[in-house]
Amino acid sequence: MSFAQIEMDSAELERVLFRLVPIAIAIVVAVLIFIYRKKKANERMLAMQQAAAQLGWTFAAKPPMNYIAGLDRFTLFNQGHSKQILNMMYGEANGIKTAVFDYVYTTGSGKNATTHYQSVVYLEPPNINLPYFSLRPESLMSKVFSAFGYQDIDFGQRPAFSKEYLLRGQDEQGIRGVFNDSLLTFYEGYQGICTDAGGNQIILFRANTRFPTEQIQPYVGLALSLLNFFPR
C-alpha cells in the first residue's frame, strides 16, 4: 500500500469518525436520560406506595384508564393522547370515596410533543349531583377566545373571580346555581386551583403540577372542604 493510499484511508476514517461521534454522544445522552427518568419514576412510585400505606389506602402502580368509571366525561381526560394513570392510591376520607393519582398525557407529536405530568385528587361523595363544569385559571389566550364568543361564565357581582377563572359547561343556568357566593369566595382564596365536576364526581388539581407526597393530605383536605360549598 502506497503512502498516498494510507493518507486517503486515514482521511476517510476521520470523516467516518467525525460523523459517528455526535451520533454516539446522542445515544449515550438519551440512555442516561432514560435511566434517570426511570429512577425518578421508581422513586415516585415507592413514595406514593408508602403514602398509601400510611393512610391505610390501597395502591395500584398502573391501573387502566377506565379504573374509575366516567373519567372520559371530563375536560382533563379529553385532551392529548398516550394517556396513563400512575401511582393511584385510593380509599376513604371522611367516609367519602377518594383517590389520588398521577395523570400523564402527551400533546403534539414528533419534535413538537410535550408530555404533561399531573397530580389529581378525585372525590366521589354519595349525596351530591352537580351539573358538568370545567373550571380553569383564566389565561391570555382564553381571554382572546372569549372576545370571539368562546364560552366563559362570568359573575358580574364577583369581578375578582370572573377575572381569574374560566368557567365552562353546557348547563349554564345549573352551573350558576351551584356557584353561590360561598363557593366563589372559596375559589378566590385558592387561585390556580382547577376543577372538573359532574354528577357525584369531583376532580381537583393544579395544571401541570405533580405535588410531593407530603402535600397529598393537604390537597385531599382542600378537596373535602370544597364539598361544603356545593348544594346537596
Per-residue pLDDT tens over the stretch 77-104: 998 899 999 999 999 999 999 999 999 9
pLDDT at 41: 82
pLDDT at 205: 96
Helix axes 216-227, 181-189, angle to 10 degrees: 160
Tell me the CA distances in angstroms from 147 to 109, 151, 176, one per residue in order.
Answer: 30, 9, 21
Residue 103 CA to residue 58 CA, distance in Å, equals 17
Residue 223 CA to residue 205 CA, distance in Å, equals 9
210 or 35: which carries more pLDDT confidence?
Answer: 210
First to last CA, the chain: 93
Kindly tell me if the per-residue pLDDT of 213 is higher than 60.
Answer: yes
Cβ atoms within 10 A of the Cβ of 90, count?
20
3-class secondary-structure state, position 74: coil
- pLDDT tens, position by position, 115-146: 999 999 999 999 899 999 999 998 655 454 45
Kindly tell me if the per-residue pLDDT of 208 is higher than 50.
Answer: yes
> Which whole number is the average pLDDT over 60-72?
95
Domains of the chain by residue range? 58-227
- pLDDT tens, position by position, 158-195: 889 988 999 999 999 999 999 999 999 999 998 889 99
Residues 6+ apart with CB under 8 A from 178: 130, 131, 133, 230, 231
Q: Among 165, 169, 124, 119, which residue's Cα sits nearest to residue 143?
A: 165
151 or 123: which carries more pLDDT confidence?
Answer: 123
pLDDT at 59: 97
Kindly tell me if the per-residue pLDDT of 22 is higher than 90.
Answer: no
Contact predicate 165/156, CB 8 Å:
no
Burial class from Cβ neighbours inside 10 Å (0-12, 13-18, 19+) for residue 195 reads buried
Lowest mean pLDDT among 8-12, 160-164, 212-216: 8-12
Q: Which of 67-76, 135-144, 145-154 has the highest mean pLDDT?
A: 67-76
For residue 101, give the amino acid letter: F
- Indicate yes or no: pTM above 0.85: no
> Which whole number is the average pLDDT over 29-34?
63
Cβ atoms within 10 A of the Cβ of 223, count?
23
Contact predicate 63/42, CB 8 Å:
no
* Average model confidence (pLDDT) across the chain: 85
